[in-house]
């Protein structure tokens, strides 16, 4: 479903991604871990072109993102993204946050979008919050709204960029629970996270990145119980 070939990304003279290759299958949940500055967020952001790759190719559902003729907005409709800092629109109610893109981008009717929104809010456990503003929500609630907002575009892939890193510890669980449900429904997911419990329990595959490269990948069992690479071992020993 997602094919990444020889991906390079430079910020000025700084090489952030060096020859990253990856294949992500449909319905697969891939968890990307690694120390900060390892390029894992940049890798994720390249997958919906929030960062433009310096070179290499990214193909999602047979469409090459790196091809100049590709309409990137079309691809983004199919690739949902959840951010570390939620990025809800503060001047809109929860309902409007969720319905804005379906109505404006997909030309869905307001009524249809609202029905969809209420369904999604029920799914993330926030049915009673449709008419409040983001500032009236807790961090965990905001992130669940952000997930609902991304799902409203009916994406084929969901990208999560450290979705629980900005949350108070007691709110991490509610967000992870929603993500777990999503994985069980068969959503294809790429998750950058420090939540090793989630990686182990929900991940089909774990990718360890360091210094802009994929150092090692494998099933959660392989990665956590018998990592092969020295750098993987030393990273895991520090955080587990």
* By CB under 8 A, residue 104 contacts another protein: yes
Q: Indicate the SS3 state at residue 37.
A: coil
* By CB under 8 A, residue 238 contacts another protein: no
Residue 190 to residues 12, 76, 103, 219, 237, Cα–Cα distance (Å): 27, 15, 26, 14, 23
**Residues numbered 26-85 forming contacts with another protein, rule: CB under 8 A:** 48, 50, 73-74, 76-77, 79-81, 83, 85
Angle subtended by helix axes 94-104 and 110-123, to nearest 10: 130
DSSP character at residue 47:
T
Ordered strands of the 2-11 beta sheet: 14-24, 2-11, 55-60, 63-64
* By CB under 8 A, residue 100 contacts another protein: yes
Candidates 8-16, 53-61, 102-110, 162-170: pick the segment binding another protein (CB under 8 A).
102-110
Number of residues in contact with another protein, rule: CB under 8 A? Answer: 29
Q: From the CB of 107, what's the least distance to another protein, in Å? A: 12
Candidates 87-95, 180-188, 199-207, 231-239: pick the segment binding another protein (CB under 8 A).
87-95
Angle subtended by helix axes 169-184 and 139-151, to nearest 10: 20
Binding residue (CB under 8 A) for another protein from 109, 110, 136, 138: 136
Residue 216 class from Cβ within 10 Å (0-12 exposed, 13-18 middle, 19+ buried)? buried
Q: From the CB of 157, what's the least distance to another protein, in Å? A: 12
Q: From the CB of 43, what's the least distance to another protein, in Å? A: 15
* By CB under 8 A, residue 138 contacts another protein: no
Q: From the CB of 134, what's the least distance to another protein, in Å? A: 7
The rounded distance, in Å, linking the Cα atoms of 216 and 227 is 8
Q: Can you tell me which residue has the tokens 């774990």?
A: 206
Binding residue (CB under 8 A) for another protein from 24, 32, 65, 88: 88
Structure tokens at 220: 């959660």
Candidates 129-137, 163-171, 185-193, 220-228: pick the segment binding another protein (CB under 8 A).
129-137
Helices (H), the chain: 40-46, 72-78, 94-104, 110-123, 139-151, 169-184, 196-202, 220-225, 230-239
Binding residue (CB under 8 A) for another protein from 11, 55, 89, 122: 89
Q: From the CB of 237, what's the least distance to another protein, in Å? A: 33
The rounded distance, in Å, linking the Cα atoms of 15 and 25 is 27
Binding residue (CB under 8 A) for another protein from 12, 69, 91, 240: 91
Positions in the binding site for another protein (CB under 8 A): 48, 50, 73-74, 76-77, 79-81, 83, 85, 87-91, 100-101, 104-106, 133-136, 146, 149-150, 153
């Amino acid at each position: 479903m997602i094919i990444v070939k020889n991906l390079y990304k430079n910020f000025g003279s700084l090489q952030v991604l060096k020859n990253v290759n990856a294949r992500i299958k449909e319905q697969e949940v891939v968890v990307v871990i690694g120390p900060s500055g390892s390029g894992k967020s940049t890798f994720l952001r390249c997958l919906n072109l929030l960062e433009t790759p310096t070179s290499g190719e990214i193909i999602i559902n047979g469409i090459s993102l790196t091809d100049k003729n590709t309409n990137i907005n079309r691809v983004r409709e199919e690739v949902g993204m959840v951010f570390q800092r939620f990025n809800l629109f503060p001047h809109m109610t929860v309902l409007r946050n969720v319905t804005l893109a379906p109505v404006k981008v997909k030309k869905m009717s307001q009524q249809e979008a609202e029905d969809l929104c209420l369904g999604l809010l029920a799914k993330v456990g926030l049915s009673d919050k449709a008419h409040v503003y983001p500032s009236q929500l807790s961090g965990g609630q905001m992130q669940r709204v952000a997930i609902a907002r991304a799902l409203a575009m009916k994406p084929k892939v969901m990208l999560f960029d450290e979705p629980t890193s900005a949350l108070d510890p007691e709110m991490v669980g509610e967000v992870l629970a929603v993500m777990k449900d999503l994985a069980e429904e068969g959503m294809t997911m790429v998750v950058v996270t420090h939540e090793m419990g989630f990686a182990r329990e929900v991940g089909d595959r774990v990718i360890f990145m360091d210094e802009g490269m994929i150092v090692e990948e494998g099933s959660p069992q392989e990665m956590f119980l018998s990592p092969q690479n020295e750098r993987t071992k030393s990273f895991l020993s520090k955080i587990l």
